[in-house]
Amino acid sequence: MSALFDILASAGLWAAVLRIATPLILATLGALISERAGVLNLGIEGIMTFGAMVGWLAVYNGADLWVGLLVAALGGAMFGLLHSVLTVTLGLSQHVSGLGVTLFASSFAYYVFRLMVPVAGTPPTIVPFQPLDIPGLSDLPFFGPAFFTQTAPTYLAIGLAIALAYLIARTPVGLAIRMTGENPHAAEAQGLNPMAIRYGAVIFGSALMGVGGAFLTLSAFNSFFPTMVQGRGWICIALVVFASWKPERALLGAILFALFDAFQLRLQTVLSGVVPYQIFLMIPYLLSIAALAVMARRARVPQALMQPYRRGER
């Protein structure tokens, strides 16, 4: 038992939690804002892969790290536009379109990567974001190494979660997005343009997914390989439900999942030999399913989620 407690009390664990959580926070927020407007975006997995690739590629070719993130956002937005055309304008099934975008975006990412970067024995690397040294805070015992040795994008992600929570709950545009996700006909009756709002939410959300993917190649790691997103996108789709479509709870959910994940990584080393490590790999997912089952029962789903909106038709 004390081994378990030692893990929880180590600053290294908590540093890892925030690092693992960051791409989840960003992509979950992206999926969340799009679903709040009524569009499910299952393109998330592929968009994250593409963002990871294109952001890395920009930096590899000499761009600044921040420019790399911006390029990843634009890459994500491009696929968001594609998903919007298919689901909003053409009113196609959001599931099918999303899965198509995922397959397309991940293959396209690999294709571009192979075109631009020759096959090599060791993958090429870049110099990623370095931990920020925050005067005063980073030097605190335990809390310093646990919470204040992250890279800039992590703080950006946390700040963004808070900003989006405010945007959705308190601003006119947030209300317009919620209304569009609940009843686009009502939004139109109030003089809003539900189509434009959906386009905006999907494109913005996809940009966040791209940035979430780019965090993997520009901060958590320093090179790109095609399978690196590893189902994180699907976790984010579940996290949106877990969060009851609320950004502040998405932040919490992403951190909770990251805690499971970081915990099992350390558990592997402590208990290796006793139990096969694959068991530990399953733990975060099993716990997520359990948490989802508990939380999602009370969740209020946006009423118009996955329903295409056609003007003048009810």
Partner 1 sequence: MTDTVLDIRNVSKRFGDNLANDDISLSLAKGEIVALLGENGAGKTTLMSILFGHYVPDTGSVSVMRQMLPPGKPRAAIRAGVGMVHQHFSLAPNLTVLENVMTGTESLWSLGSNVSAGRKKLIEISQRFGLKVDPDARLGDLSVGEQQRVEILKALYNDARILVLDEPTAVLTKLEAETLFSTLKDMARQGLSLIFISHKLDEVMATADRIVVLRGGKLVAERNVGETSKAELAELMVGRKVTRPVREASTPGEIVLEAAGITVRSGGVDRLKSVDFRLRAGEVLGIIGVSGNGQAVLAQLLSGTIGRSAGDLVLFGKGAGDLTVADAVSSGIGRIPEDRNRDGAIGEMAIWENAVLERLPEFSKAGLVDRKAGIAFATKIISAFDVRGGSPTSRIRLLSGGNMQKLILGRNLIEHPRILLAAQPARGLDEGAVAAVHERILEARKAGTAVLLISEDLDEVMALADRIQAIVGGRLSPSVNAEDVDARRLGLMMAGEWGGSADAV
Interface residue list for partner 1 (CB under 8 A) = 170-173, 175-176, 178-179, 182-183, 185-192, 300, 302-303, 311-312, 314
- Report in angstroms the alpha-carbon separations of 86 from 7, 28, 96, 203: 47, 21, 10, 13
CA 48 to chain centre: 8
Between 134 and 296, whose beta carbon lies closer to partner 1? 296
Between 61 and 190, whose beta carbon lies closer to partner 1? 190
CB of 91 to partner 1, least distance (A): 14
Residue with tokens 């915990």: 263
CB of 243 to partner 1, least distance (A): 15
CB of 189 to partner 1, least distance (A): 4
Between 78 and 304, whose beta carbon lies closer to partner 1? 304
Residue pair 98/84 in contact by the 8 Å Cβ criterion: no
Residue pair 55/300 in contact by the 8 Å Cβ criterion: no
Phi, psi of 6 (to 5 degrees): -60, -40
Between 212 and 247, whose beta carbon lies closer to partner 1? 247
Closest CA to 126 of 71, 172, 170, 203: 71
Between 287 and 299, whose beta carbon lies closer to partner 1? 299
CB of 308 to partner 1, least distance (A): 13
Residue pair 34/41 in contact by the 8 Å Cβ criterion: yes
Secondary structure, 3-state, 43-55: CHHHHHHHHHHHH
The single-letter code of the amino acid at 275 is V
Report H helices in the chain: 2-9, 11-36, 44-60, 65-84, 94-116, 143-147, 152-170, 172-182, 184-189, 194-215, 232-242, 247-270, 277-296
Between 25 and 304, whose beta carbon lies closer to partner 1? 304
Between 19 and 246, whose beta carbon lies closer to partner 1? 246
CB atoms under 10 Å from CB of 217, counted, come to 27
CB of 169 to partner 1, least distance (A): 9
The single-letter code of the amino acid at 200 is G
CB of 180 to partner 1, least distance (A): 9
CA 238 to chain centre: 11
CB of 182 to partner 1, least distance (A): 3
Residue pair 108/50 in contact by the 8 Å Cβ criterion: yes
Q: Is the dihedral of CA 128, 260, 251, 208 positive or negative?
A: positive
Q: Which tokens in the block code for residue 285?
A: 């997912």
Between 121 and 191, whose beta carbon lies closer to partner 1? 191
CB of 301 to partner 1, least distance (A): 9
Between 4 and 163, whose beta carbon lies closer to partner 1? 163
CB of 84 to partner 1, least distance (A): 18
